[in-house]
Amino acid sequence: LAVSLYSVSGGTRTLLGTQMVRREIYPGDLIAPLTFTIPLTSIGTDGLEAVADDNGSGSGTQNECDETNNSDTWNELLCH
């Protein structure tokens, strides 16, 4: 299963990277965290969005019962 990370600015998503989860994931499963290393300057003005079942093309390859729950956004303020 592919998971992609996007920078989000003004409704525009820019692909930052894609990683593969190498096992089946069933409803309610937890997996080990994925780590994406990006420069702070890559974070969009509206944050980051992680999308499961996305190989970087913006679409999925797996047939699911609910295709609308594959993403999460992060737009907290950074302190450095």
pLDDT at 77: 65
Helix (H) or strand (E) holding 37: none
Whole-model pTM? Answer: 0.85
- Express each pLDDT in 11-63 by its tens digit: 899 999 999 998 888 878 888 899 999 999 999 999 999 999 999 988 888 87
Q: How far is Cα 30 from Cα 48, in angstroms, rounded to an integer?
A: 21
Say which residue, 67 or 77, is predicted with more confidence: 67
pLDDT at 79: 55
Confidence of residue 78 (pLDDT cuts 50, 70, 90): low
